[in-house]
A and B are shown apart, each in its own frame.
Chain A
């Protein structure tokens, strides 16, 4: 018997969505069938021992039926002819039962016919890596994080996701997409003398890529773990971030959160249309703001970019079959376009993007972020520092909260350094800042050059009713904001 790899062999019967759809196509004027299959491999080690080995597979179909201008959905993991027939009938009956009180008129116009195959850019597959080697490296990572007895917790976590979707419709769509994704979390908690501090590689689970095992360069990762452990120790002896209004430089691993909360969510068209008001909230952005609102400084260029190779939420088509293309949402600070798929575009008349996405086979698609990025500028990190007489450089998200209209936010970071007269000086603990979205983005005074541009993401963007957790990517350079209210921990 050969040594086990990370791959898992199953006894799942093959499933053909095309013939499955053909067998139920009489149930409604129009039907769609989205087959989704994902295998999540989660491995984690803590303090020199493996803590968790999990392989979770999800596999099922979502059938959508269009009847009398309403689309309704039925999801099932029963892929037998009887199970699919029942789901198709239920979707059709629900569409009929709710058509009279539908929120808006829907049609096949919102489900364009497309035929394509798409494969993500991953290079090294799970079956090419030995389970034993991978496990050893995770354990080693926790040992390298533990640079001192003051490190009370050292964690190394890896998640690998094999994802396959196949979407077919009675109007001719046939789309298959395969992706391999990886998320990493390497972190240390240091405690001594009544103080406790955490530090991780770019924030917990910010290292998210559409990638195979090539994203686990263990020599680099282990060195980074040691640096992270040392930074956790440094935080123990650091002074609190001052309570002061001052200049703020944010690293790309915090910009990911800033972009996500104060640009991504408020631009979602379903929020602007009110769908989300009972859960995540509404938006300060009004339909009439598109094309007119100066969202931030002229240095600000925000794109929806589903095609940036390796970025976490890249794809070729959304879950309604719309081809995904790069679009400017904000150009030179001016708001141009919303984050809404064809249904929201039709309902609002606002230009959008292909972001009608679902979190899995058991959820209907809604407007989601995908890759939302801030384009690089032309300021090097050293030149950015030189512009700051007194300020703070913050890295790696630790805390996040924003209101339901996406105005008033407060974010915290793991690690900061004081900037004095253009130079990084002392390490600061408990760095936080707060602000209001539009004034904050108007205070953007320098955007880092492409050397500072980094890709991150999160698998945990929550939204929707029923709730959905989805993967998003954010790439950004380092940025400088002027006159921001920063503050530290309790005295």
Chain B
């Protein structure tokens, strides 16, 4: 039995023990999250900090007579100790439920069946990854993070659901810095990620990043604020798409008055007929099930040719507003999004751009006016001034303030024929699962403000 399987089995035993403690009018769901990860942080190709994290966490979703309480704790790994703690928390939940008012939007837990999905991998040791990065970055200034190890998500409830997802994978998220002819720091961003680590592939990924440096070493082009034709590389599109999870595709947010795509949801506004967005769990980067065990469809079309097909609807939102849930998680954010490809040959992208700006990455996005889907952010990393299809110079970074109704709508000229798979690299509290499949985009008119 693998280490992951053994942890999943430990969770199953704990769950069964918990379900045996319930009385007739009680129901319980448990979700499990675990990781055994190495994190190695690099600065100038050397190791700044190395951390091993071994953590297992259980969250209880306790229901009694229309009341609901969520309790979470870190497992010690000792079944008797964890079981005793869990029993104390169930006792506490009972006490609380006697004092809490009824929650009119609690939905019953259901049996969503059993299932297990595993993605095994081959990962490097901390010593070998630090050697490999050091050796591969001898002549460049590299900063970055290696994260590698096992991740588990599982859910069980007293109605019979038991589902798990486990993965062994890694990423080396990196930035390579240079100083250009004007004495300004410039950098390229790269990502080497997967389930099976190969040192040769790591060298190839870093070489690919380094190949962009000569263009960055040229003198800066300082552009005045204003409107420009723009090509958004997939990583820049991903940053924009990430904002959709801040309420833009959530039905609950729509009802609360917090939805950036309110006009789209009402049918008053459309995006470009070139733009289609779906949740696609076939990417295999995250589990289809949610914390309550609900299983999302393998694919869910959200926006088709510029028109909204559905927002994401969690079961609680469905109960409150009389709708049908569609497998969304509690936050009603995107978990495995894909923007569908278009007909632009990536090798023609600069030629089609003609004169304008190539944007490799964007930074620190935020809504500047949510109601109009207007957001602001900065250009970052490899961003170039292009003339007649030729890269001329790196730009000095610009601030933009622009609406998604224009970027994905009226100003969207073309989408590339192929897309990139970009695994999630967030590591707040624990390493995230998930990722996206994103193409590049050509935009007719994009507004920069500072």
Contact = CB atoms under 8 A, between A and B. Distances in A.
Contacts of B43: 103, 273-275, 277
Contacts of A167: none
B103 A408 contact: no
Given A53-B69, A401-B377, A72 B51 contact: yes
B369 A278 contact: no
Contacts of B401: 410
B112 interface: no
A401 B397 CA distance: 14
A405 to B, nearest CB: 8
Contacts of B426: 467
Interface stretch (A73-81, A309-317, A380-388): A73-81
A408 B378 CA distance: 8
Name, among A4, A87, A95, A152, the residue most crowded by chain B CB atoms within 10 Å (CB to CB).
Answer: A4
A489 B49 CA distance: 44
B92 A8 contact: yes
Interface in B71-95: 71-78, 81, 84-85, 87-89, 92, 95
A49 B429 contact: no
A195 B370 CA distance: 11
B338 interface: no
A465 B103 CA distance: 39
A336 B194 CA distance: 45
B139 to A, nearest CB: 15
B374 A490 contact: yes
Interface string B219-263: 000000000000000000000000000000000000111100010
Interface string B57-80: 101000000001111111111100
Interface stretch (A10-18, A114-122, A206-214, A476-484): A10-18
B70 A196 contact: no
Given A364-B49, A467-B427, A55 B74 contact: no
A139 B77 contact: no
Interface stretch (B17-25, B125-133, B154-162, B321-329): B125-133
A170 B429 CA distance: 28
Interface stretch (B171-179, B281-289, B303-311): B171-179
Given A101-B46, A404-B364, A462-B428, A196 B257 contact: yes
A389 interface: no
A132 interface: yes
Contact of B74 (A59, A87, A279): A59
Contacts of B74: 57-60, 77
Contacts of A490: 369, 372, 374, 403
A8 B98 CA distance: 14
Contacts of A362: 53, 55, 429-430
A152 B377 CA distance: 29
25 contacts: A1-B95, A49-B103, A55-B70, A56-B71, A56-B73, A60-B55, A73-B51, A94-B38, A98-B40, A103-B48, A130-B99, A135-B101, A139-B101, A191-B257, A196-B371, A274-B143, A275-B143, A277-B143, A277-B175, A278-B145, A401-B399, A405-B397, A432-B368, A466-B39, A466-B41
B434 interface: no
Given A153-B257, A401-B366, A469 B76 contact: no
Contact of A76 (B49, B55, B89): B55
B134 A152 contact: no
B365 interface: yes
Contacts of B187: 277
A281 B380 CA distance: 10
Interface in A103-151: 103-104, 130-132, 135, 139
A54 B96 CA distance: 11
A420 to B, nearest CB: 25
Given A274-B143, A462-B428, A467-B426, A101 B134 contact: yes
B47 A102 contact: yes
A91 B75 CA distance: 20
Contacts of B47: 70, 98, 101-103
A221 interface: no
B392 to A, nearest CB: 22
Contacts of B367: 399
B3 to A, nearest CB: 13
A363 B51 contact: yes
B85 A11 contact: yes
Nearest to A46: B256
A372 B410 CA distance: 44
Nearest to A77: B74
B428 A467 contact: yes
A98 B49 CA distance: 9
> Interface residue tally of chain A, by bracket?
35 or more
Given A78-B54, A366-B49, 4 more contacts: A9-B92, A77-B54, A78-B76, A465-B41
Given A153-B258, A196-B262, A434-B450, A466 B431 contact: yes
Nearest to A64: B51
B56 to A, nearest CB: 7
A43 to B, nearest CB: 10
A10 B89 contact: yes
B421 interface: no
Interface pairs A-B: 5 shortest CB-CB: A97-B127, A466-B427, A11-B88, A77-B74, A465-B145
A406 to B, nearest CB: 10
Contacts of B40: 98
A321 interface: no
Given A83-B77, A277-B143, A466-B431, A102 B46 contact: yes
A9 B92 CA distance: 7
A22 interface: no
B257 A189 contact: yes
B116 interface: no
Contacts of A103: 42-44, 46-48
Interface residues of B, number: 97
A50 B147 CA distance: 39
Contacts of A402: 364, 378
Nearest to A366: B49
B145 A79 contact: no
A271 to B, nearest CB: 11
Interface string B160-200: 00000000000001110100000001010100000000000
A53 B52 contact: no
Contacts of A80: 76-78
Contacts of A277: 43, 143, 175, 177, 187
A412 interface: yes
Nearest to B96: A4
A59 B70 contact: no
B98 A189 contact: no
B98 A4 contact: yes
A198 B88 CA distance: 41
B52 A77 contact: no
A405 B372 CA distance: 28
B294 to A, nearest CB: 18
Interface in A1-30: 1, 3-4, 8-13
B360 to A, nearest CB: 13
Interface string B390-432: 0000000101010100000000000000000000001111110
B449 interface: yes
Contacts of A70: 47, 50
Contact of B127 (A46, A75, A98): A98
B77 A278 contact: no
Interface string A232-263: 00000000000000000000000000000000
B126 A282 contact: no
Contacts of A489: 369, 371-372, 374
Contacts of B125: 97
B13 interface: no
Interface in A369-410: 399-405, 408, 410
Contacts of A467: 426-428
Given A4-B99, A75-B55, A401-B376, A282 B185 contact: yes
Interface in A24-55: 46, 49-55
